[in-house]
Amino acid sequence: MGGRLCACVWPLLLPVASSETELKQEVRVGVLGLFHPSELALEQQGGGAVLCATSNGDAQIPAWPLNGEPGHRLLVFRAEAGKVVTGSSSANSWTMTGRDGESVPYRLTVPGKLERDYFGRLTILARNNELLAVATLDRETAVASIAAAEMDENTPAEALKAQAVAARSFLAAGARHRDFDFCDTTHCQFLKSPPPSGGRVSRAVQETRGLVIAYRDKPVAALYSSRCGGETRSLQDTGMEPGEGYPYYAVACAWCRQHPYIWRTRIGNAEAVPRPGNESQRIREARQWGWSAIPGSDFHVTGDGAGWSLEGRSVGHGIGMCQHGAAGMALSGAGFREILSHYYPNTSLVENP
């Protein structure tokens, strides 16, 4: 670990199946939990109707349609005494689908804070006097939503494709939560509203449909960060243990070396001296001082008795694909396969329908 290894040769790829049902998979994403909402508003979007019903099919509580007509445009849910309440109806949980159980477009809002559009199905539960919203999405819709959140629409196409494959690999590697598969924060995968179906992000997802990064025949829960500072890091370099999974490797990033990015911050007397490269400590310190205080794991520290001055070059943990480096490789003519093989050495690109 920690050494530079030669990129492997990608295997020949089988044609991607044209039937959407052959590749359709779904993931359950806990959404908007960062706000710890006690209230959520649901709106129907597009032309279809959203049917809201209790999850246990309680016949005493009739289903409620949201179809855009007066009185049927918005539902507000509240957490009360361990139940999910809307209007005068109270239940353990509610589900929202199309009339035949199909996916539908809808908008979910944390009043006064954030609104976000989704396409799929929704379940709302109560947990510890808060509402837990679980969006069930087609995996490719989730990949597009993640890629749109992680990279700008104008990023070079091959870098967008590399980002789509990395996000899909993370989802294919397996669930990380109990009540749902993934969350929409940086703990799992940041996720925003789906991009336009004809846009560049959506095309990148479609053109890589079903492809994931694999190590020892298993999908890699692919990590990536914004700027690596000139060289990515192995898990061991950052104080994390790889176990039997992909260990990651330190690889040079030409773009970051040619386009250095310097940040400078200052923090007060922390419990311990900030240590570059230790990702667990960086996260602890960032939670105390703010994420902008220690934006990356590659930095130098000087102290003067009143606090610490930090100067760094990286943004993020520096493990796996460097997003700015990927964009730089794409601008230089590299395809997404070359980008992925560079940042994830000793892996292969396989189909995971």
pLDDT of 79-127, one tens digit each? Answer: 999 999 998 899 999 999 998 889 999 999 999 999 999 999 999 999 9
With a CB cutoff of 8 Å and minimum separation 6, the contacts of 333 are: none
Average per-residue pLDDT for the chain: 87
Average pLDDT over residues 167-174: 96
Residue 268: pLDDT band (50, 70, 90) is confident
CA nearest 179: which of 93, 253, 263?
A: 93
Average pLDDT over residues 67-81: 88
Distance CA 68, CA 72 (A): 6
What is residue 61's predicted lDDT score, i.e. its pLDDT?
79
With a CB cutoff of 8 Å and minimum separation 6, the contacts of 58 are: 91
Helix (H) or strand (E) holding 26: strand 26-31
Cβ(212)–Cβ(352) below 8 Å = yes
The domain segmentation of the chain, as residue ranges, is 26-137, 141-254+318-351, 262-312
Distance CA 309, CA 276 (A): 13
Q: Could you tell me the pTM of the whole model?
A: 0.86
Q: pLDDT tens digits for 211-255?
A: 999 999 999 999 999 999 999 999 888 777 767 789 999 999 999
Per DSSP, what are the bridge partners of residue 24?
none
